[in-house]
């Protein structure tokens, strides 16, 4: 039989106090698990341009499987027109009705950076970004060691040519340089007895209607870049205004629409360039991969091929980039049921939004049986911006040319892409009409672009 042990009162008191102390520590949370349960984010909204919802359905399904806390991802196609999309998007963001994740153009960073939430821990992920994506994306989407967007695809200008017209002219292969192009002009241009152009060799020389040329601004910008002028320097100043090479580039471009030129092949009486090409009245034009897909659908009988973009030198290729990535809004969509003013809530929203972007665009969305980026590209027929997928696309009969150009794609910092388009269009048409000489037209355009930079910098301050 066990005997009861009687403890001294002093020891009992010490045990009692020790028990109280340990209990207070336990209930204060010191012995809790380190997991902190933050605000719950169960829904994300994604806005896009061009793409229909079926491009993302399986991607969102797979993301939710890996992230069960996300119950719903809504996709909304805002417009199939880039300018309209931009206006609606940023008006809605300003009024608190914007998305969490949205399509972001590669020329928008200077103009819209203040509305974006950069990737959390960007500096730790910059090398991963560079390993994953083509070089031009680093220039367009990273600023001051912050990642503001990740590319989902990439597009570049290429040469579209009518195979039937080339065959009729006895030209076996398309030109590869701008010098080669000039050699083909006479063989592909037809001018009737009244001086009217019944067949044009190439859509070059003008910008706006009448005789409008699609992507004229991009073509001229590429000529500047190929000539060695960055258009805008690292200090954010336009530097093409007094540049001799840029003046030569402008003079080269407008000669195709000047009656006294040996390369005369375009004028204000021509149909819009894309229409003229699809009607078989123009042998060559310069455009992007998405335009090729549109032509195949709208004009299945048009016998056209695509060749690499013309260069000044094949040893120093430069191809013009035009593409979209995914970005995150700095502030979320207003919801009276959510703690919008809670910084922890918005931090978690930004984190989940970036998790979705990384899943869609990078290798983090890749498993043995599923690759989110590849799923998107298969649905949309677009060109990969991811380096590993470019290798698979280089031999594709439809997008191979564009895939091979992605690694040599270039761009330049624009203060406002739509305003720049107007300035460059005016520059071209003033110069070709003789309203202003090339030198003065360039100086005026450079001054206008510098004014845009200064205006934006003042609003930031």
Q: Give the per-residue pLDDT at 80.
A: 95
Report, as an integer, the average pLDDT of 156-165: 98
List all residues 6 or more positions away from 434 whose beta carbon is below 8 Å from its beta carbon. Answer: none
Return mean pLDDT, the chain: 91
Predicted confidence (pLDDT) at residue 15 exceeds the cutoff of 90: no
Higher model confidence: residue 208 or residue 28?
Answer: 208
List all residues 6 or more positions away from 391 whose beta carbon is below 8 Å from its beta carbon. Answer: none
In Å, how far are 37, 357, 375, 383 from 68, measured between CA atoms? Answer: 15, 16, 21, 31
β-bridge pairing 409-410 and 319-320? parallel
Q: Are 323 and 181 in contact (CB under 8 A)?
A: no
Q: Are 192 and 202 in contact (CB under 8 A)?
A: no
Higher model confidence: residue 193 or residue 338?
Answer: 193
Q: Give the per-residue pLDDT at 248.
A: 98
Q: Are 446 and 239 in contact (CB under 8 A)?
A: yes
Q: Give the per-residue pLDDT at 152.
A: 95
Q: Give the per-residue pLDDT at 33.
A: 41
Report, as an integer, the average pLDDT of 165-188: 98
Q: Give the per-residue pLDDT at 339.
A: 53
Q: Give the per-residue pLDDT at 229.
A: 98
Report, as an integer, the average pLDDT of 81-86: 97
Q: Give the per-residue pLDDT at 456.
A: 81
Predicted confidence (pLDDT) at residue 130 exceeds the cutoff of 50: yes
User: Tens digit of pLDDT for each residue in 275-310?
Assistant: 999 999 999 999 999 999 999 999 999 999 999 999
Q: Give the per-residue pLDDT at 14.
A: 52
List all residues 6 or more positions away from 175 whose beta carbon is below 8 Å from its beta carbon. Answer: 159, 181, 183, 184, 310
String of b and e for 302-330 (b: at least 16 CB within 10 Å)?
bebebebbbbbeeeebbbbbbbbbbbbbe
Report, as an integer, the average pLDDT of 364-382: 91
Residue 126: φ, ψ to 5°: -65, -45
Q: Are 413 and 236 in contact (CB under 8 A)?
A: yes
How many other CB atoms are there within 10 angstroms of residue 408's CB atom?
A: 18
């Amino acid at each position: 039989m066990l005997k009861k042990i009687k403890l001294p009162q002093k020891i009992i008191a010490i045990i009692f106090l020790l028990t109280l102390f340990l209990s207070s520590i336990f209930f204060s949370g010191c012995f809790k698990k380190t997991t902190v349960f933050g605000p719950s984010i169960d829904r994300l909204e994604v806005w896009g341009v061009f793409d229909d919802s079926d491009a993302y359905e399986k991607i969102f399904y797979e993301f939710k499987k890996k992230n069960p806390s996300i119950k719903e991802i809504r996709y909304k196609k805002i417009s199939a027109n880039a300018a309209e999309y931009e206006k609606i998007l940023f008006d809605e963001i300003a009024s608190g009705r914007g998305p969490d994740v949205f399509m972001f153009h590669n020329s928008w960073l200077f103009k819209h950076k203040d509305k974006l939430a950069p990737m959390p821990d960007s500096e730790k992920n910059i090398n991963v970004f560079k390993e994953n994506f083509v070089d031009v994306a680093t220039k367009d989407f990273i600023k001051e060691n912050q990642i503001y967007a990740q590319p989902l695809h990439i597009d570049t200008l290429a040469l579209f040519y009518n195979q039937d017209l080339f065959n009729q002219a006895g030209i076996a292969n398309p030109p590869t340089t701008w010098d080669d192009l000039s050699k083909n002009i006479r063989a592909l241009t037809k001018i009737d007895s009244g001086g009217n152009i019944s067949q044009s060799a190439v859509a070059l020389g003008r910008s706006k209607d009448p005789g409008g040329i699609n992507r004229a601004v991009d073509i001229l910008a590429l000529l500047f870049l190929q000539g060695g002028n960055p258009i805008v320097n690292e200090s954010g100043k336009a530097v093409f205004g007094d540049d001799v090479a840029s003046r030569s580039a402008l003079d080269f471009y407008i000669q195709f629409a000047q009656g006294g030129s040996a390369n005369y092949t375009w004028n204000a009486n021509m149909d819009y360039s894309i229409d003229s090409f699809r009607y078989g009245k123009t042998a060559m034009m310069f455009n992007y991969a998405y335009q090729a897909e549109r032509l195949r659908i709208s004009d299945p009988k048009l016998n056209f091929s695509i060749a690499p973009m013309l260069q000044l030198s094949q040893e120093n290729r430069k191809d013009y980039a035009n593409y979209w990535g995914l970005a995150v809004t700095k502030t979320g969509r207003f919801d009276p049921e959510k703690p919008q003013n809670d910084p922890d809530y918005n931090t978690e929203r930004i984190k989940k939004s970036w998790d979705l972007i990384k899943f869609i665009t990078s290798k983090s969305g890749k498993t043995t049986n599923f690759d989110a980026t590849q799923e998107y590209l298969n649905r949309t027929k677009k060109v990969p911006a991811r380096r590993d997928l470019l290798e698979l696309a280089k031999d594709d009969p439809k997008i191979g040319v564009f895939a091979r150009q992605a690694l040599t794609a270039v761009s330049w910092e624009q203060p406002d892409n739509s305003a720049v388009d107007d300035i460059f269009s005016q520059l071209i048409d003033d110069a070709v009409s003789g309203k202003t000489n090339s030198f003065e037209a360039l100086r005026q355009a450079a001054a206008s672009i510098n004014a845009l930079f200064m205006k934006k910098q003042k609003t930031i301050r």
